[in-house]
C-alpha cells in the first residue's frame, strides 16, 4: 500500500498471539504462520515480542543463499525462497540477524513473512498489523505514527560491525537514530578503550 510503513513496538506486545493466529488464516499459506513470537523470559517477567520479517535493504538471507533462491520485489519486500531453487540448506535461517526465516521441512523450502503481498497489493493492510490488539504491530502512514507515538521509528541496526537498514521500522526511545546490540556502544569508555 503506497505511503504506508510497517512498525514494530515490542514494548506494546501483550503476548496474545493474535498475529500468529491471524497469519495462519492467510489464503496463500493457510494453516502455517509466518510470525516469530517469543516469551522473552517468562520466569522473570511478562515481556513478550512478536516480529515479522524486517525486510532488509541488502538481505543477509539472500547474501548467504547458495542457490540464489531469495529475492526482493520492487517494493523491497523479501520473499520466501523460490521453491524450484531452494535446497533447504538453512543457511538463511542461521545467518539472519533477526532470526526470521523458517525452514518448513514438509515443503523443503524456506518460508517467511512477505508482508501479506496478497493483501497489500489490493489495498489491504497486512493481516497481523490489522488485528494486533495492542498495535505492537502497526501498518500506518509515517505522519500518523509521528502524531500518535512518543517513541521514534528507527530502521538502522548495528550488529557488531554489520550495519543493516530495513524496510520495517522498530520503535525506539525518542533520542535514538539507530539501534545497536553491542554493549560497548552503550559504555562510558566507548569502543576506543576496548580496541583490539
Partner 1 sequence: MAKPPQALADLNHEFGPHPSYMPKGGWQEESRHTPDRLVKTHCCFCGQQCGIKLKVRDNAVTGFEPWEEFPFNRGMLCPKGVKRYMQSSHPDRLLDPLMRTETGFRKAHWNEALDHTVRRLREIQDKYGKDSVAVYGGASLITEKSYLLGKFARVGLGTKQIDYNGRLCMVSAGTAYKLAFDVDRSLIPWSEIPKADVLMVIGANVGDCAPITTDYIWRCRDRGGKLIVVDPRMTPISRNADLYLPVRPGTDLALLMGILHVIVRDGLEDKKFIEEHTSGWDAVVESVKAYDPQKAAEMTGVPPQSIEKAAHWFAKADKAIAMHARGLEHHSKGVENCLALINIALATGHIGREGCGATMITGQGNGQGGREHGQKCDQLPGQRSINDPAAREHVAKVWGIRPDEIPGPGVSAQEIMNLIHAGEIKALVNICFNPAVSLPNSAFTSEALSKLEFFGVIDFFMSETAQFADVVLAGSLQEEEEGVTCSAEGRVIHIQKATDPPGNAKTDTWIICELAKRLGKEKFFNYGSTREIFDELRVASQGGHADYFGITYEKIDEQLGVFWPCPTADHPGTPHLMTGGISYFPDGKCRFNSTAWRESGDPVDADFPIYLTTGRVVSQYLSGTQTRRIGSLVDIYPQPLVEIHPRLAEKYGIQTNDWVTVKSRRDEITLQANVVKTIRPDTVFIPYHWPNERSANRLTHRTLDPRSKIPEFKVSACRLFKANAAPVWAGHTEVEEAKRGTATTSRAPGMPDPLVNIETPHDGGRK
Considering the complex, what minimum distance in angstroms separates the CB of residue 136 from partner 1? 9
56 or 140, CB closer to partner 1?
140
Alpha carbon 74 to chain centroid distance?
A: 18
Considering the complex, what minimum distance in angstroms separates the CB of residue 121 from partner 1? 15
Which position among 64, 87, 89, 131 is part of the footprint of partner 1 (CB under 8 A)?
A: 131
Residue entry with cell 520466501? 80
Q: What mask of x and - would describe binding to partner 1 in positions 80 to 99, judged by CB under 8 A?
A: x--x----------------
Which position among 72, 93, 134, 158 is part of the footprint of partner 1 (CB under 8 A)?
A: 134
Which position among 18, 60, 120, 166 is part of the footprint of partner 1 (CB under 8 A)?
A: 18
**What whole-number distance in Å separates Cα of residue 93 and Cα of residue 52?**
14
Cell numbers representing residue 86 in the block: 531452494
Q: What mask of x and - would describe binding to partner 1 in positions 25 to 64, judged by CB under 8 A?
A: x-xxxxxx---------xxxxxxx----------------
Q: Is 163 in the site for partner 1 (CB under 8 A)?
A: no
Tell me the backbone φ, ψ of residue 90, rounded to 5 degrees.
75, 15
> Following DSSP, what letter does each residue of 31-49 receive, concatenated?
T----EEEES-TTT---EE
Asked whether 32 and 24 are in contact (CB, 8 A), the reply is yes
Alpha carbon 99 to chain centroid distance?
A: 9
For the chain, the straight-line distance linking the first and the last C-alpha, in angstroms and rounded, comes to: 46
**What whole-number distance in Å separates Cα of residue 76 and Cα of residue 51?**
17
Which position among 36, 60, 91, 109 is part of the footprint of partner 1 (CB under 8 A)?
A: 109
134 or 156, CB closer to partner 1?
134
Strand partners, 38: 49
Q: Is 112 in the site for partner 1 (CB under 8 A)?
A: no
Residues that bind partner 1 (CB under 8 A): 11-18, 20-22, 24-25, 27-32, 42-48, 80, 83, 104, 106-107, 109, 111, 125, 127, 130-135, 148-151
Amino acid at each position: 500500500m503506497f505511503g504506508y510503513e510497517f512498525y514494530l513496538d515490542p514494548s506494546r506486545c501483550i503476548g496474545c498471539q493474535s498475529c500468529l493466529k491471524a497469519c495462519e488464516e492467510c489464503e496463500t499459506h493457510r494453516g502455517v504462520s509466518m510470525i516469530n513470537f517469543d516469551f522473552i523470559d517468562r520466569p522473570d517477567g511478562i515481556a513478550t515480542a512478536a516480529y515479522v520479517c524486517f525486510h532488509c535493504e541488502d538481505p543477509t538471507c539472500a547474501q548467504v543463499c547458495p542457490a540464489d533462491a531469495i529475492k526482493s520485489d520492487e517494493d523491497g519486500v523479501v520473499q520466501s525462497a523460490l521453491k524450484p531453487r531452494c535446497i533447504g540448506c538453512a543457511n538463511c535461517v542461521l545467518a539472519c540477524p533477526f532470526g526470521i526465516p523458517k525452514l518448513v521441512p514438509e515443503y523443503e523450502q524456506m518460508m517467511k513473512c512477505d508482508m501479506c503481498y496478497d493483501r497489500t497489493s489490493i489495498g489491504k493492510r497486512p493481516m497481523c498489523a490489522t488485528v494486533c490488539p495492542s498495535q505492537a504491530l502497526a501498518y500506518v502512514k509515517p505522519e500518523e505514527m509521528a502524531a500518535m507515538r512518543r517513541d521514534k521509528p528507527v530502521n538502522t541496526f548495528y550488529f557488531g560491525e554489520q550495519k543493516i537498514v530495513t524496510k520495517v521500522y522498530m520503535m525506539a526511545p525518542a533520542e535514538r537514530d539507530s539501534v545497536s546490540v553491542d554493549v560497548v556502544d552503550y559504555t562510558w569508555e566507548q569502543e576506543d578503550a576496548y580496541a583490539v
